[in-house]
Amino acid sequence: MKTQQLETIEDAIRVLCELPNNYIFRGHADATWHLESTLERLIGSKWCKESANKFEQYSLQVFQSKYHLYDRENIEPESKLAWLSLMQHYGVPTRLLDFTSSPFVAIYFAVEAYDHRSGNDLAIFALDYSALMERSVQFISDKDSSFKKTREEVSLQQDEVFTGIVDRFSYDIAWVTEPRQLNVRLDRQSGCFLLSGNRGVRISEILNSTVYTDCNFIKFILPGNLYEALFALLRKMNINSKSIYGDLQGLARSLRMEMSIYSA
């Protein structure tokens, strides 16, 4: 993955907007953080395929069995991918890693979690989604001669392909997807998910594999002293906790961010 330093707000706007529409983005409040799922962070050094599978199956089973007791907002998911997406939405550790098609939503998430007292740099990850998925689909085709789907066909059958191919055979591929049933928050955030097809291999290891050598993956570094200016930019664009979350939690987060800015 290439690294590029952005020194000013103008640099960030220009460079991120010049990227074509086939990129997806993720923001980090600390540039030293790696691309890893919440399940990877939870298991930590004990990460292995058996542990990942055990944790996922347990949480999925419990969440599905008790879902009807708590939820009055969402339609009950119809696929495993939709269940994992909803679990991610409510904070259950999963192997899904949130991305967005909007670089400014990615900046928002970096700013939202930023601690201005740390002085750390922020980071925005940009992945060429089209190239990544082309390599992943080709990898499956090379392993399975009966798999004839194109990347465009996969995008129309994401739940089925995830359950029947990606999740079932645990290929050493990265996979970008979203369930057919989107929850409101995922839709508001123009969100999608990145995951490792093989639960025994971390996302960062997959992205650094030879399968994706020619894909354009970039980590943009933004100085921490741009924190307040980034907040002001997003506010002018009406990208804030209220628009991102659309609920009382969003209102509370919005107030917390304002208080953090004014106390800096």
Q: What sign for the dihedral angle of Cα 205, 209, 215, 220?
A: positive
pLDDT for the residue 182: 61
Residue with tokens 């907040």: 231
Q: Yes or no: say if 222 and 124 are a contact pair by the CB < 8 Å rule.
A: yes
| Mean pLDDT of successive 10-residue stretches along the chain, which has 264 residues | 94 94 96 96 92 94 90 80 90 94 93 88 97 96 92 89 94 91 63 92 96 96 93 87 71 71 68
Q: Write the burial class of residue 190 (CB in 10 Å: 0-12 exposed, 13-18 middle, 19+ buried).
A: middle
Is this prediction's pTM over 0.75? yes
pLDDT for the residue 254: 67
For 192, residues 6+ apart whose C-beta sits below 8 A from its C-beta are 24, 99, 100, 101, 176, 177, 178
pLDDT for the residue 239: 85
Helices (H), 189-226: 203-207
For 51, residues 6+ apart whose C-beta sits below 8 A from its C-beta are 43
pLDDT for the residue 189: 62
For residues 242 and 219, what is the distance between their CA atoms, to the nearest angstrom?
Answer: 27
Q: Yes or no: say if 159 and 179 are a contact pair by the CB < 8 Å rule.
A: yes
Residue with tokens 């499956």: 140
pLDDT for the residue 74: 67
Residue extents of the structural domains in the chain = 2-263
pLDDT for the residue 68: 85
